[in-house]
Amino acid sequence: MKLTREARSIAVVINAGSRKGSAARELVVQSLGKAGLPVSAMYTVDGGGDLNRTLERALAEGHDLVVVGGGDGTVASAAGLVAGTDVALGVLPLGTANDLARTLDIPKDLGEACKALAEGKIVDIDLGRANGQPFLNVASAGLSVAVTQALSPRLKRLIGPLAYGVATVRSYAKHKPFHARLEFPEGDHPPVELENLLQVAVGNGRYYGGGNAVSPTAGIDDHTLDIYAILMAPLREQAKIARSLKNGKFVENERVYHLTSRSVRLVTTPPLPVNLDGEITTGTPTDFTVERNAVHVVVPGNSSSATFEGRG
């Protein structure tokens, strides 16, 4: 299957716990039905274990396209389940940041996203793993975890992506620097010791944090991970780094260590929790890998974000 219209059976799973999920069901049903897509099953869940059980059920039922409506964490969970199978994944951006949708050129308007899904094509994207757990955009330790913890559902509902900026300011004032060691199992880089850190991140996709770029060259089908570490710095220098987050050029700053690899092991002192696409699901030490072309996903017909290559 290379085009959505070739799908024989479609299951739709909507996470009602996502920012826009509770109001999305009716519009999704109407839009996909109007587009003539063969929706065979529709599920609404509240996240957590219910989400995974429902996704597993949809896969077991034999649908060749599973459409998931939710935030980036929801979509990453689904991607981890369909990875390595012939099932294609459709994405409806119902979260706060929706960075995967941004990476894949999927419209943020739900009606337009449904239309793009109906007329879309299938491409392959890479899947990141952190201690075996899936992520699509970025995994990180340090300041970003505190930001995630400060992102209350109420704040996200009220101001949307602007909540990231508010949470970052709140978290920065409380941050405690840490030490990290980066090890490279494939031997493509020597081990690196870094002190006095603000954050370490490992990127698989193009965008994170509500539209920040991982690096100027990052892509979700380049078969590599972008690794960067930001050192603590005076507030003026941190502001300079922050101003170049949107285009990814912050990695060129002298207080940012950046490289690429297919795998990396992160060890921190003290041990720290790790944020995967907005969900804190593992901790350091962390082994990061990338699975090449692991997930078939629907993108708009005019998208150039990825191609259909097949797994390798």
Q: Which residues are catalytic?
A: 279
**Residues contacting 254, CB < 8 A, separation 6+:** none
CA distance 265 to 214: 19
Burial (Cβ within 10 Å: 0-12, 13-18, ≥19) of residue 97: buried
| Rounded CA separation 79/90 (Å) | 10
Q: Which element (helix H / strand E) includes 26?
A: helix 25-34
* Helices (H), ranges, the chain: 25-34, 48-60, 72-82, 99-103, 110-118, 143-150, 153-159, 162-172, 235-243
153, two tokens: 């559902």
Closest CA to 98 of 205, 235, 229, 236: 205
Let me know if 50 is exposed, middle or buried by CB neighbors in 10 A (0-12, 13-18, 19+): middle
Task: Taking each helix axis as running N to C, give the angle between helix 143-150 and helix 162-172, from 0 to 180 degrees, rounded to the nearest 10.
Answer: 120
Token pair of 167 as six digits = 């949470």
